[in-house]
Amino acid sequence: MKATLACLLALSAAHLSAADDLSKPIEALRGVQKEGQGNEAAAKAWQEIVQADAATLPEVLKGMNGANPLAENWLRAAVGVLADKALEAKKLPVPALEAFLKDTHNSPGARTVAFDLIQRADAKLADDLTPTLLNDPSSELRRHPVAKLLEAGDAALARKENDAAVAAYGKGLGGARDEDQIKALAKKLRDLGQKVDLPKHFGFLMTWKLIAPFSNADRAGFDTVYPPEKELKFDAAYEGKGKQAKWVDFTSTDEYGKIDFNKPFGMEKSVVGYAATDFFSTEDRPAEIRIGCKDGWKVWLNGELLFARDEYHRGAKLDQYKLPCQLKKGKNTILVKCCQNEQTEQWTVEWEFQLRVCDATGTAILAKN
C-alpha cells in the first residue's frame, strides 16, 4: 500500500513538474519567425505541449497573448490537439476556460478559442455566457450575441410583435461590429420604419480637410515628412506630385464613413494624402480612435503620433486598428496620413480610410456641437 501511494505521489509530482515546464516550450513556439526561423525548436516544443495534461490548456492559450501570427498558429494547433484529447476523455477544464474567457486582458483570438471550446463541452454554459459578450472588446466574440438577437428579432417579427423585433434588432445593432451583421440589422430596422443613422451610431468622423498628392515613389513617402506633418495651414499650397497640393473640404456620404481621396483628387498612384479634422470633446477622458484602412497610414492626435502601418492592400474592415488615446476637453486635432502605392490592379485602387472615436467597448463618443 505504501509503495503504491509513493508511486502515485511520484507520478503526481512528475505531472505537476511537466505542467510547470510548459513555459519553455511555449516560449519556443512564441519564438517562431518568418522564413523558418525557430521552426526546428518549435517542432520539438509542440510535441511536448500536446502531450501535456488538459489542465494546461489555459496556460497554452495565454501563450497566444501578444504572439506574432506564425507563433499564434503553432499555439492554436497545439490547443486543438490538447482540446480534442480532453473532450474525448471528458476532462476539458471548463471552469478555467471560462475564467480565461472573462479576463479581457487576454488576446481576442485566444479568448475566442476558449469560447469555442466551452461551446463544444457545455452548450448550455455557452448559451448562458453569450449575452454577456454583447459589449466585449473582441468583435469576433460579439458575433454570437448579435446573431442571437437577430434570431430573437426574426422570431418576434414572425409573431407580428413589431415592437419586440425593433428592440431586439436595435440592441443587436448596438453590439454589432462586423459589416455583414450591421447591414442585416440596419435593413431590418429600416423595413420596420426605423431611422438608422450609422455614422452617428458608430461615431464616424465624416467631415475633413484633405490635401494631396505628395509623392510616394518607391514607397518612400511613408517616412517622408511633408508640410502637413509640420504645420496645418489650410490656405497653403505646396509642391506636389506633378501638380500643386492644396487643401480641399470633403464630407463623406458613405454610411461607413469612408474618406475617399480618389473623389477629390482622382485615381492617383504612388501618392500620399493627408486628412485633418477637429474633434470637440465635452471633457478630458480616455478614448479609442479606431481606423480601417488597406493602405499605408499614420494617425496623430494633437500632434502626437498614435500609430503607423506601412502595409498595402491587405484588406480593410470596421475597427481594424484600435488606438488608445486621451482626449482633452475642447478641440482635439486628428491628422491622418494615407499612402497609396504603385500597384495598378483593380483591387488596389482604393485610397481611403474610415475613422471613428469611441470608448473601449466600441460605443461612440460624439463630438460636442
Are 181 and 207 contained in the same domain?
Answer: no
Quote the number of domains for the chain: 3
Could you tell me if 324 and 332 are in contact, meaning their C-beta atoms sit under 8 angstroms apart? no
Phi/psi of residue 141, each to 5°? -70, -30
Are 350 and 230 contained in the same domain?
Answer: yes
Cell of 356: 471613428
Cα separation of 360 and 214, whole Å? Answer: 34
* Terminal-residue alpha carbon distance, the chain: 80
Phi/psi of residue 286, each to 5°? -70, 150
Runs of H (alpha helix) within the chain = 2-20, 23-30, 39-50, 57-62, 69-88, 94-102, 108-121, 123-129, 139-158, 162-175, 179-191, 198-202, 262-265
Q: Which residues of 251-286 are buried (b: 16+ CB within 10 A; e: fewer)?
A: ebeebbbbbbbebebeebebbbbbbbbebebeeeee
Whether 369 is in a domain gets the answer: no
Cell of 81: 490537439
- What count of other Cβ atoms lies within 10 Å of the Cβ of residue 197? 9
Of 293, 288, 254, 287, residue with least CA distance to 275: 293
Are 179 and 316 contained in the same domain?
Answer: no
Are 238 and 252 contained in the same domain?
Answer: yes
- Could you give the maximum distance between any two Cα atoms of the chain, in Å? 91
Are 237 and 353 contained in the same domain?
Answer: yes
Cell of 283: 471633457
Q: What is the pLDDT of residue 11?
A: 39
pTM score above 0.85: no
Range of the domain at 264: 202-358
Would you write out the chain's pLDDT as a tens digit for each of its 369 residues? 444 434 433 433 344 444 457 999 999 999 989 877 888 999 999 999 999 999 999 999 999 999 998 999 999 999 999 999 999 999 999 999 999 999 999 999 999 999 999 999 999 999 999 999 999 988 899 999 999 999 999 999 999 999 999 999 999 999 998 889 999 999 999 999 999 999 999 999 999 999 999 999 999 999 999 999 999 999 999 999 999 999 999 999 999 999 999 999 999 999 999 999 999 999 999 999 999 999 999 999 999 999 999 989 877 888 899 999 999 999 999 999 999 999 888 878 899 999 999 998 888 999 987
Are 290 and 327 contained in the same domain?
Answer: yes
Q: Please tell me whether residue 176 adopts helix, strand or coil conformation.
A: coil
Are 108 and 218 contained in the same domain?
Answer: no
Q: Cα 284 to chain center, whole Å? A: 25
